[in-house]
Structure 1
């Protein structure tokens, strides 16, 4: 029997997203074991962390076309199965090159879940609740990382790097059949004709007449600069987000002498308020009718927090954990708003491709970030990474479009 309740559909989408995130981005939480297992430096192991994002980068635009042509549910299920199958090859990997190849395949397979589930939100939820719904959906990213941060360090100490990474592979394999139980999204009348949705009533969805963003334009949204600026903001804010997620655990272990499980617990603690932040900011954006104005404020506060994190712990070590937690929460709070803005600007006709482009450009940022930060670590240490991240957050403040409302 098909699931037609839009809130249940949102919940299943979150489970799929958590499985995908834990599979592709769980590597930072087992970075010490990865480093020791293959005799790597921290910088070298950090570069392996970026390979799932590189795999996503190579395939994501093609996945966006598949989403718009084939549909969200089959694309998500296929992606989860391929991700699980890729990580299942890890026991066969003999060295860092083959491990890197497996991580690349996992990223190449896992790309469409985020874009496909975002397109489901655009189809099933009205504009007045879409920011909240997308915020809830986007909270799956920090929740997935939080689960990984809690589970994987201890699993890696017991079973090693390979054994730990088989756990998110199993979760992805279990999530795939559940996705196929969802009903297809409500059909809409022809784009731009002024009509609402065909068919769905009651709890499924109600006809929405909120202008261009609800129905979606048939022309490319990329003829205007607004969507490009939203993409740019996401890329810039992705640098501190990925840097903090990749190096927070190592920072606590290497600079402050923490054990890996204890450091993982601290990183995990940031995921809950990070997820709540996406939800609350989405709800706030629904109320004010503007997705990007809160992002500008968030980027400004993040700039200040990162500068403090770079400088303060050297003089007052007790400030390291509070500042790290604050910066982690701030770094992950923007995603729901930028994804919602991209989806609404694009409309349903272009949502799959536009969200794929959004993910693809973020993958560029994710892939390049460890490469950019490796010489910073080697030359000046981990605190300098946080100072460099502050520069990118400051650039995002300037890049935020003046308005990116819901209409």
Structure 2
């Protein structure tokens, strides 16, 4: 239920880049301006997600997910009545404000059902929802937009959200023995509890008084820049630079989401085996930085390699989310897990909001190929931060998860 609900939410939040050509045409925008508009749902996320986290911890996952899906569908329906680009932008902000908590609430629901030694796999499967939702949006929305326009394409995630509301109300329940509306599961079959699980008891102090969780959030924000860059501009790159049709470009991006989803599950299992969420993140960051540099150089050196490299970059860019999401929740402890996961999404929304604007300026000044060089710099910074964090955790808490 958490996976399917997230698929419905993802199309609303991240589907706009896949109809960017029609968005440009509908409102007479440049690529940079349309990219900025595509980042507005992330601005809505940023404005409301921490508040949604409090709602999750206080009223539970089922209420929050159902409310979010219903509000998202209602906001998407307003696009047909929006007056001009300003009206459309305001609606897209509201879509982001409404749709954000599904990811955090679904993640918290999964956290209550699984022990720490199983969470990497469970959250990996849970986080498959994002590439699945993005893949579905990339495959279908360009086809609808090309035939009926931008607004018609955005009714697809609205319809799926409406379908999911009653299903969430019936099936999205915490496990028997969970403590309160947002409490952690009392699974007496598992023993002994780890440090991360022992935090399921009410926390005496906020985890945000300590630097560890801020470092996890920081890594996620840094890796969010290449992810948002690629998701916002990949389709338009294939259309403008390589002469692809929008549906063909969408189909290629959709195809990458299948191995991307499986990769999240594999990395979750690997993190369980390693006893570390962050070590695989470091490898991903290094590989992403290297591949993005190669993609930047390919336009001048080996143009035929550009499209394969772009698809590899897309695969790597979507790989870290499940690991950093789980690391944030475990670092915070279950009593703060809803707020921590909402904060994680909020801070990622900073990246998702600012990246289209930043990269729009890069495109205006240096061209679209320079976007990948800038994204490589952020991946390199993320690798450096996570390496320092791993060393610090090993030095201070040798038995803790890193």
Please confirm whether the aligned pair reaches a TM-score higher than 0.5, indicating the same fold: yes
> Contact between 1:239 and 1:366, CA under 8 Å: does it hold in 2?
yes
Which of 35, 41, 45 in structure 2 is aligned with 1:46? 35
Q: Aligned partners of 1:167, 1:197: CA distance in 2, in Å?
A: 35
Determine whether 1:184 maps to 2:177: no
| TM-score (norm: length of structure 1) | 0.92
Q: Aligned partners of 1:349, 1:188: CA distance in 2, in Å?
A: 12
- Give how far 1:208 is off: 4.9
Residues 128-165 of structure 1, C-alpha deviation per residue, up to 9 Å, x if partnerless? 11000001111110110000000000000111000010
The 3 A distance-change label for structure 1 pair 70 and 305 is same
Residues 321-370 of structure 1, C-alpha deviation per residue, up to 9 Å, x if partnerless? 11001000000000000011111111110001011110000001110101
Tell me what 2:14 maps to.
25
Give SS of 1:354's match: helix
Alignment of 1:166-205 (within 5 A): 166-182=155-171, 183-188=173-178, 197-198=185-186
Which of 179, 192, 196 in structure 2 is aligned with 1:213? 196
- Give how far 1:287 is off: 0.5
Q: Aligned partners of 1:159, 1:73: CA distance in 2, in Å?
A: 35
Q: Aligned partners of 2:262, 2:284: CA distance in 1, in Å?
A: 14
> Contact between 2:113 and 2:185, CA under 8 Å: does it hold in 1?
no
Higher helix proportion (structure 1 or 2): 2
Tell me what 2:376 maps to.
390
The 3 A distance-change label for structure 1 pair 189 and 51 is closer
Q: Aligned partners of 1:172, 1:295: CA distance in 2, in Å?
A: 31
- Give how far 1:269 is off: 1.3
Residues 254-309 of structure 1, C-alpha deviation per residue, up to 9 Å, x if partnerless? 11111111111111111111111111000000011010011011101110000011
Tell me what 1:134 maps to.
123
> Contact between 1:75 and 1:116, CA under 8 Å: does it hold in 2?
yes
Q: Aligned partners of 2:42, 2:51: CA distance in 1, in Å?
A: 15
Determine whether 1:35 maps to 2:24: yes
Which of 89, 109, 123 in structure 2 is aligned with 1:100? 89
Determine whether 1:305 maps to 2:295: no
> Contact between 2:113 and 2:174, CA under 8 Å: does it hold in 1?
no
Give SS of 1:116's match: helix
Any stretches of 5+ residues in structure 2 without a counterpart? 395-399
Any stretches of 5+ residues in structure 1 without a counterpart? 1-11, 191-195
- Give how far 1:317 is off: 1.8
Q: Aligned partners of 2:253, 2:156: CA distance in 1, in Å?
A: 19
> Contact between 2:69 and 2:99, CA under 8 Å: does it hold in 1?
yes
Q: Aligned partners of 1:123, 1:46: CA distance in 2, in Å?
A: 37
> Contact between 1:208 and 1:214, CA under 8 Å: does it hold in 2?
no
Which of 138, 150, 160 in structure 2 is aligned with 1:149? 138
The 3 A distance-change label for structure 1 pair 350 and 208 is farther
Tell me what 1:6 maps to.
none
Number of residue pairs matched by the alignment = 386
Which of 278, 301, 304 in structure 2 is aligned with 1:318? 304
Give SS of 2:149's match: helix
Tell me what 2:397 maps to.
none
| TM-score (norm: length of structure 2) | 0.93
- Give how far 1:320 is off: 1.3
Q: Aligned partners of 2:277, 2:79: CA distance in 1, in Å?
A: 41
Determine whether 1:264 maps to 2:229: no
The 3 A distance-change label for structure 1 pair 54 and 189 is closer
